[in-house]
Amino acid sequence: MSDLRISDRGRVDHARPVRFTFDGKTFAGLEGDTVASALLANGQHLMGRGFKYHRPRGVVTAGSEEPNALIGTTRGPGQFEPNTHATMQEIYDGLSTESQNKWPSLKFDIGAINDRLYMLFSAGFYYKTFMWPKSFWDKVYEPFIRRAAGLGRSLTYLDPDHYASRYLHCDVLIVGAGPSGLAAALTAARSGPSVVVVDEQAEMGEALLSEPSVEIDRDQVWGWLASTLAEPASLPNVRLMNRSTAIGYYHQNMVGLCQKLTDHLSDVPADAPRERLWRVRAGQVILAQGAIDRPMVFDGNDRPGVMMAGAAQTFLNRFGVKVGVRPVILTSNDSAWYTAFDLADAGCKVAAIVDTRTDIPPALMQAAMSRQIEALTGYTATATSGRLRVKSIRVNPVRGGRVGAARTIACDAVLMCGGWTPSLHLFSHTKGSLEWDAKAKAYLPGHKTEAVHIAGAGRGLWGIAAVLADGAQAGADALRDLGRKAGAATYAVTNDRTGTGITQKELPTDRSPSSAKAFVDFQNDVTAKDIRLAVREGMRSIEHVKRYTTNGMATDQGKLSNMNGLTIASDALGKDIPQVGLTTFRPPYTPTTFGALAGYHKGSHFEVTRKTPIDSWAVENGAAFEPVALWRRASYFSKAGEDMHAAVNRECRATRQSLGIFDASTLGKIEVSGPDAVEFMNRMYTNPWAKLAPGKCRYGLLLGEDGFIRDDGVIGRMRDDLFHVTTTGGAARVLNMMEDYLQTEWPDLQVWLTSTTEEWATIAINGPNAHKLLAPLVEGQNMSDAAFPHMSVAECTVASFPSRLFRISFTGELGFEVNVPARHGRALWEKLMEVGKAYDVCPYGTETMHILRAEKGYIIIGQDTDGTVTPEDAGIGWAIGKAKPDFVGKRSLAWPDIVAKGRKQLVGLSTENPKDALVEGAQIVLDPKQPKPMKMIGHVTSSYWSEALGRSIAMAVVQGGFDRMGDTLHIPTADGGSQAAKVTGSVFDDPAGDRLKVE
C-alpha cells in the first residue's frame, strides 16, 4: 500500500482493492475511491493539460466544480464519455480512463509550445489574430481553430447506453445532504410531510467528513451522521437520493435532477439505465448546497499539487489519502488552518501555514505551535516552481503595501483557501436577487421568487453549530409555509468552528516579470492580466469582461473563478464590487449528458409516433412510411419490382385516370362553436364568413400580425354556430393562436374551441370515378352535382357510418373527403377498397399527394412559404376580404415594404430539359457565371416529376416573380454547373378546373 494511503482513515473499504487504468497504466485503488483519490493515493498528481497553454494540470477540488481533472472514461464496449470529473467518477474493476487535451502523451505534450508563445494568446486574441489576411481564414485559421477547440474527443458512434426519466412530487425537497441539509431533513421528516433529500455525492453527509478538526471527536461526528441518516431513511415519507445532482431550478418549484445509476458498477444489469432525469415538483425547496473554496491568485497557482485546502481535507478524511507529505497551507481565513492540523495529525510534515492576515486568533496559533507548524502571517505567495508537480513556493511578507524579501519553501503540495463562495447557482436560476455582503465578502441570497429557503453556508453562515441550527430553522420554515407544525430537533455535535469568507487581496503578480501567470479560470486559462487587459481595452460590464476573456465560461460555470475575476475587474475599474455586478448563472448546475436530457427519446422513441386508425392496414399492405411532424404517414405503396418512383408514377396515373384513395386522417381539425363563432372567424381569417351558408365550405387564410401567411385550409360551416376548420400548417399551433386571441384580445366573445384532429378518421377519394364509388354508399344526402356541388359539406351516413362529408379536392380531380369517428376509420377504408375494385381503386401516399397538388398549384404552408410570404406574394390575394373592416394582419398588409416591388413571389418553373428535376431548396440566380458570392434571387420550394405532364415541374419564390413570366433563370448545382428554367404560372394542369365536375 502507498505511503500516501492511511489504513485506518476514510470511508473507503480497505479490504476490497480495485484495479483500473489511466492512460493505459494499471492503478490500484479501494472500493469507494474516485479516480482522483485513487490516483492521488498512488502519487499521481498530473491528470490533464490546460486548454489554451497546455500547461500541466492536476486536481484542484474534490467535487463537481473540478476544472482540471476532466478525463475520458470507457465503461465497456462502445461506452465512452469525455470530460468526466475524475473527482466524481467512482472506480471499479475494469474501468478505463484517459487524460485529455494532450499529444503525444500527458507528460510530453507538443501543445505546451503555446506556453512559450503566451504573448500571442492574450485576452481576445481570437478577435485580433485571425482578422488578416482574410484569405487565410478558410485554409489556415478555421481548420486550426477547429482542431484546437473543445475538450476531449467526441463520440463517433451511437451511444449504446439507456437513459430514463420520471416525475416526482413532494412537500419538501432538500438539495444538499451536509449538516444544514440533514438538520432540515430531520426537522421536516418528523412532522410527516413527504420529504426528498438529494445529494450529488455517493454517500450522504460527506461534507461532514471534511468538517472534523481538533475541536470534534471524529467518531462522534460519524456516529451522529449515521444516526441522522438512519432516522429519515426509516420513515416512509422520506426518500434519500444519492448520486443525484440538482441541475436546474425552474418556475413553480420545478427542480430537475440527474441521478447516476450505474456509472459506479462493474457489473451492470442488462438494459439498466445509466442515468435518470427527475422532474421534481415541490411544495417547498430547501437549498443547503454549502459553499465552495475560493482559489488564491498568484504566479504558478495552476501547477499539479496546488489545490484547495478543503479538497485536501476531503481526500484525507473521506478517502484516507494524503495529497502530499510536505504541504504548505496558503490561506486568508481560519478554515485552512484546520486542514493543516488534520494533515499534521495524520503524519504529514506541514512545511508552513502562510496567511495573508496579520491578526490570527490565538487559539489557532497555539494549535499550530503544538504541532510544530511554522506560521507565516502577513505573507503572500508570489510564485511556485516545478514542471509536472509543484516543488516549492515563494512567499513574501507584505507590510504597509510594500513587499518584503522573498522566501522559498520546499513542498510537494500547496493547499490554498482564499475564502468561501456560497453556492447559489440554483437560487439564481429562479431569478432571485443576490445581494453583496461586505462582511462575508460574498453575494448572498436576497429577494426570493419561489417557495424556497436557503440554509447554512449558502447564507454566509460558518461552523457546525451555526449551520445545524440554521438547517433546522429552514426545515421549520418550510413546514410553516406548508401549514405544518415542526417538532423539536436536537443535535449532539456542537463544536463552534468558524471560518470567515475573507476575500484574498489580489497578489502583486502584475508587478512580477511579464512571463508570470496567475490563473483565475483554470480551465480556460484566464489570468489576472487577461482581466485587467479587458478593462484597459474598454470592457466595463462584467458580462463583457466574461465574454472577452472567457472567464467563468468553463464547465464549472465560474464556481471557482467568478469572485476572483469580479474582484480583479472591480479593482481595475476603480469601483466597488456591487457596482460592477455579477454574471448570470444558468442551468445546468454541472455538465449533464445529452442522454440524460433525452431520456427515453432516442431511436424509434425519439418522438411519440402518432398513427392514424388506418395505419395498420397500410402496414399490412406494404406501405413505405415517412415521419410528418409527429405523425407516421404512408409515403407510397409499392408493388413487386417497383422502386419509389415507379410506385408513385403508378399512383398518380391511377388517380388521374380513374380512382385514388388517400388516408388524410392527420389533417388538423378544430371546431369553432358558440353564438359569436361567425364574428370570431371574421376576425381571425382574411375571408368573410357571415354570408357562408350552413352546408357550404370556403378556403380560409390565416395571417399573423405581420401580414405573413400562417395557415390555410378548407372550412365548412356545419350550423349557424359551428364551423369545422381544417388546417395544413399545424393544428396545435393554430389552436394556440386562436386561444391566445380569444382569451387576451376578445374575451367578450362567446366562442369555444375544440381540437378534433384525433376524433375523426379522414379518407380522401379522388379521380373521375370518385362520385361513382361514393354515391351508392351515402344516405341522408342527395349526391347530385346540383344538390351537392363542389365546396359543400353535409352530415350524413357513409357505408352505415355517421359522417361529415366534404366535396373538396386537393388534387384537382373530382374529390371528396369523408370524416367518420376514428374507431370506424379502418372499417370504412376496407369497405371503400372493396367497392372500389370495380374502378381499379389505388391507395396512394404522401409522395403522390404532393405531386398531384403541385400540378394544380396548390401551396403547402411551411414548404412553399417561409414565414415571409404574404397572400399577394403567393398569388392568393383573392382570399382577402376587401370589404372587411379588420382581421388579424390586415394593417400590416398596407406596410410599404409589404407592397413594395421586388418582393419574392411564388411562381412555377419549367426546366429547359424536361427530364431535369430541380433540388428543393436550391438557390436561384440570374447569371450562373457571376463571381462568388452570387446574388441569390430566390429558391426552389417544391420540385417533382409529373407523370401526367411527362416532365418535371417546380415551384419557387423569386424576387419580382410575377413580372418575370417567360424569363429564364438559373439554378446552380453541386457539381459547379447549373440548370436553366423558365418562369411560368404555378398551375401546371387543368387550369380551368374542369375535372372538379361530376361527369
Instruction: Give the mean pLDDT of 525-534.
Output: 89
Quote the pLDDT of residue 826. Answer: 98
Q: Which amino acid is at 692?
A: L
Q: pLDDT band for position 124 (50/70/90)?
A: low
pLDDT tens digits, 338-385: 999 999 999 999 999 999 999 999 999 999 999 999 999 999 999 999
Residue 950 burial (CB count, 10 A): 9
Phi, psi of 329 (to 5 degrees): -100, 125
Helix or strand (DSSP H, E) at 945: strand 938-946
**494 — pLDDT class (breaks 50, 70, 90):** very low
* pLDDT tier at 486, thresholds 50, 70, 90: low
Mean pLDDT rounded to a whole number for the chain: 89
DSSP reduced 3-state for 813:
coil
Of the candidates 49, 59, 489, 18, the residue with the CA atom closest to the CA atom of residue 293: 59
Contact 56, 304 (CB under 8 A): yes
132 or 411, which is more confident: 411
The yes-or-no verdict on residue 127 having pLDDT over 80 is no
Identify the pLDDT of residue 211.
Answer: 54
Give the range with max mean pLDDT: 32-36, 103-107, 528-532. Answer: 32-36
Cα separation, 797 vs 778, in Å, equals 6
Instruction: Please check the confidence at residue 510 and state whether its pLDDT lies above 70.
Output: no
> What is the rounded CA–CA span in Å between residue 432 and residue 450?
8
Dump pLDDT digits (tens) for 246-266.
Answer: 999 999 999 999 999 999 999
CA dihedral 598, 604, 607, 611 (to 10 degrees): -160
Q: What is the DSSP string of 552-577?
A: T-STTTTTTTHHHHHHHHHHHHT--H
pLDDT of residue 390 exceeding 90: yes
Could you write out the three-class secondary structure of 452-514?
A: EEECHHHHCCCCHHHHHHHHHHHHHHHHHHHCCCCCCCCCCCCCCCCCCCCCCCCCHHHHCCC
Instruction: List CB contacts of 16: < 8 A, sequence separation 6 or more.
Output: 30, 31
Residue 507's pLDDT is: 43
What percent of the chain stands above pLDDT 90?
Answer: 68
Higher pLDDT, 537 or 69: 69
pLDDT of residue 937: 96
CB 249, CB 426: distance < 8 Å: yes
Q: Per-residue pLDDT for 212 more than 80?
A: no
Residue 447 in this model has a pLDDT that exceeds 90: yes
Higher pLDDT, 500 or 854: 854
Segments in 150-290 forming alpha helices (H): 179-189, 206-209, 218-233
Grouping H, G, I as helix, E, B as strand and the rest as coil, residue 68 is coil
Interval 699-716: pLDDT, tens: 999 999 999 999 999 999
Q: Judge whether residue 504 has pLDDT over 80.
A: no
pLDDT on residue 505: 44
Q: Which residue has 467568478 as its cell numbers?
A: 562
Grid cell at residue 234: 426509516
Using an 8 Å Cβ cutoff, are 444 and 437 in contact? yes
pLDDT per position as a tens digit, 158-192:
888 999 999 999 999 999 998 899 889 989 988 88
Least confident of 497-506, 783-792, 912-921: 497-506
Strands 379-385 and 375-377: unpaired
The predicted model gives 142-153 an average pLDDT of 71
Half-sphere exposure of 929 (CA within 13 A, CB side): 0
Lowest mean pLDDT, pick from 253-267, 291-305, 559-573, 930-944: 559-573
Nearest to residue 344, comparing CAs of 353, 355, 335?
353
pLDDT value at residue 207: 67
Model pLDDT for residues 292-315, shown as the tens digit of each residue: 999 999 999 999 999 999 999 999
First to last CA, the chain: 96
Residue 555: which pLDDT band, with cuts at 50, 70 and 90? confident
Supply 207's cell numbers: 461534507
CA dist 255 and 445 (Å) reads 18
More confident of the two residues 549 and 218: 549
Which pLDDT does position 498 carry in this prediction?
42
Mean pLDDT of all residues in 317-326: 94
Name 627's bridge partners.
Answer: 632
pLDDT of residue 615: 97
Q: Rg of the chain's alpha carbons, rounded to an integer?
A: 36
DSSP secondary structure letters along 823-884: GGHHHHHHHHHHHHGGGT-EE--HHHHHHHHHHTT---TTTT--S---TTTTT-GGGS-TT-
What is the model's pLDDT at position 541?
86
Q: Which of 12-26, 203-217, 810-824, 907-921 comes out lowest in average pLDDT?
A: 203-217
pLDDT of 150 above 90? no
CB 824 within 8 A of CB 799: no
Span 572-595, average pLDDT:
89
Q: Is the peptide bond between 77 and the residue preceding it cis, with omega within 30 degrees of 0?
A: no
Asked whether the predicted pLDDT for residue 138 surpasses 80, the reply is no
Cell 473543445 found at: 150
Q: For 799-805, what is the mean pLDDT?
A: 98
CB of 364 within 8 A of CB of 497? no
pLDDT of 509 reads: 41
Collapsed DSSP state (helix, strand, coil) of residue 796:
strand
CA distances from 717 to 175, 523, 562, 713, 761 (A): 56, 65, 63, 13, 19
